Amino acid sequence: MSVARVPKALAERLGSEGTQGLITLLASMQAEWTDNVLTVAVDRFERRLTSEISSLRVDFTTELSAFRQDVTTDLSALRQDFTRDLSAVRVELLKWSFLFWVGQVAAMAGLLAFMLRT
């Protein structure tokens, strides 16, 4: 604060030293008040930030848990489908292998019969 802000009547009544003392007192009070306001604002901001981060963590954990459950369920279903399809492929492979070998045995028996006949 400057001397010009102190009213003339008050400056005359207090004198030069009193005016300077008043200005110093008001400046220190303003600085102290500013520090207090900033401290309160920072504390409120930190509390709010902590609360929001905690809420975000809870939401994230909940969503992650639900996602893991969905992935586990989907993988289990895929595993069952794959196992079923793989067993069907094995059955088909065995069936065609059996038919191939039966055909081979019949062809060999026919060739042997033809060769032994003549």
Number of domains in the chain: 1
Side chain identity at 19, as an amino acid letter?
T
Q: What does each of the 118 residues of the chain score in pLDDT, given as a tens digit? A: 444 588 888 888 889 898 899 999 999 999 999 999 999 999 999 999 999 999 999 999 999 999 999 999 999 999 999 999 999 999 999 999 999 999 999 999 999 999 998 6
Supply the pTM of this predicted model.
0.49
What is the rounded CA–CA span in Å between residue 96 and residue 103? 10
CA of residue 84 relative to chain centroid, distance: 35
- The token duo for 47 is 């509390």
By CB atoms closer than 10 A (0-12, 13-18, 19+), residue 20 is middle
- Owning domain of residue 97: 3-117
